[in-house]
Structure 1
Amino acid sequence: MIAWLALAALVLAALPACLGAVNLIAMRSPAIRRLPDGTLVSILIPARNEEGNIGAAVEAALRSTGVAVEVVVMDDGSTDSTPAIVAELAARDPRVRLEGAPPLPEGWTGKVHACFRLAQAARGTHLLFVDADVRLEPGAAAALVSHAVAAGTPLVSAVPRQIMRSPGELLTVPSINLLMLGYLPVPLMRTRPDPSLGAACGQMLLAEREAYAAVGGHEAIRTRIHDGLQLARVFRESGRRTDVVAGARLATCRMYRGFGEAWAGFAKNAHEAMATPRALPVWTVLLFGGHVLPLPLVIASGGTSVPAWAALALSLGLRAAVTLATRENPWSIPLHPATVLTGLAIQWTALARNRRGRPAGWKGRLYPAG
């Protein structure tokens, strides 16, 4: 039995390892190119009770070089000092504007509604949506719009370098780049228009304004929570291309602080991606078999199973390569099997919650089960 399980684990570990090697070559940080006259990037930041983040986010955006920018913050019903901080920055720099989101309409999710209002307020030729916990590097906006223009791709996204400092973050956040680089066929995504191949990171997403308006923008996904993924699929459904580029040198982001916050954050939109009755059993086989099972099999075999050792080496090798390329915390490598197991636990818990009709909550709002 151990021998057969070890062979299965080896196959399941080899698949993402091979795809990851291809993707790491294909996904590069975009270069800054000469842009058409009149190009203006609107850096759009939805903010709800972000007093600890918003000042640094706006200041980082204002340091953008290589392209003209404006920075628009949508205060989404904050009860802290978020609007006051932005108002002070706007008084010092005319490129900053503070807008206030109207009450959340029925049937909309909060961040999606704020992004929709931001797009309405923007003046730019390109819309760069970033979360309040993202810190853009000076060349990020220019690099993303350069790639969009040069490649003829109206939607370009990137995963910022993820900052992880607590054990809880290390057990959850590394799953983002593992799934993106180990399981998304990037070369196929760039050549085929299938909506199922659409992928994007809502932390940092650039859209060409006219294309965004033509597909309906965030209004087309108003009931959704996973805005990056859903917007990419809307673009593809209309026949437009989307792309994902390497983002570790474009921005940084510390998503969560601690295990509880990370669990809630990943669980809130799980049902729109992996946590569905059809998809999750398949993902469980792929992830558990390829990344969790090899270590127990090595132990159970007394260290004599060559396929189990090979599966473990491929799994940890992929994690090490992804960690190096994305400049993540190196502790994500030895914790990799536990991280994958934690991710699956979040997904199964979210699926059970959804099937019981329990709502998902975030930032003081509750959303119906998907």
Structure 2
Amino acid sequence: MTVRPVALPPVKVPLARPNLSALERSYVQQALEDGWISGTGGVVSRFEDGLSSRVGRRHTIAVANGTLALELALRALGVGPGDEVIVPAFTFAAPATTVLAVGAVPVLVDIDPETWTISPQAVRAALTRRTKAVIAVDVLGHPADYDALRGLGVPVIQDAAEAHGARYRGGPVGGQGDASVFSFHANKAITTGEGGSVGTDSDELASMMRLVANHGMTPKNPYVHEVVGRNYRMTSLTASLGLGQLDRWDELIEARRDVARRYTERVDASVYAPRPAASWADYSCWLHTVTTTVERRPAVLDHLRSRGIDARAVWPPLHEQPVLAPYATDCPVARDIALRAFWLPTYAGMPDTDIDLVADALAEAADRK
């Protein structure tokens, strides 16, 4: 007998969608008309300069995606075989797998229950003579405690992939690490479809990253390869989208915050608690995240999907990922949050009717018990 899979209803409310306007289209059209669409040229430089200005960095290097941005930062810092890099256990897998990609060892540590970001105390306990860097993830838009991390004496790579528009102790997120990474994937608040960047205030680091990102050669010496490099470059078409998004930065960030505020007004916090936040942080909304009990979450998600709502459980903790099994450590806070938290659909311009649909479905799920 053939078992047929149960068909899910069509998605009425997607988890995320990009918010693109005529402005972005005009920038892309101009690039097409100019005929300069590769990863070199003035459009990419304009995007880099605009991002540097926005987050207060001296240098920004635009690349093809956020994962390559992490790899570029690690390589510029000289991380390689035999080195250790400390990574939080609660995040998307890219920070840890990128450490593996450069031949180093990811050291997984637990997170702080107040911020859900890497615990400085856990980092301190994990330091060894082989520690070459720490990757601090501004998880779900909340910055890590960089003051505490900088006092540990090792380079800090800031993974701000989900934190466009957040603020750390009054300053814009993206300027705190020795190197700071953004992603511009389609589900991010600021998007170029794919794309990423690395920012730094170090002339030396910036020079090395530009060298590695361009096949190990400089514009002054084309076809003379000084180091082993690769093509990490962002295309001009991608950067053209980014220019429009940069122009609309405040509008897009505020639109997602407005979605989070409306969820907070509509959703019962005694059943679905919103993520916590530290008093010193102004976190941005990537995907509005709530928690419930471990026992309740599967039924809630099933009910939302039955209503055509693309809500999703957050990532499994890194220490339970098969690819990272050899590096698994006990991270109870990360595991607890990973079992209870889930994302609600969130995007700029999300209509009130969709937010009402999600909130009503959550209330129905709570009543079903």
Give me the TM-score of the superposition, normalised by structure 1: 0.25
Q: More helix per residue: 1 or 2?
A: 1
Normalised TM-score (structure 2): 0.25
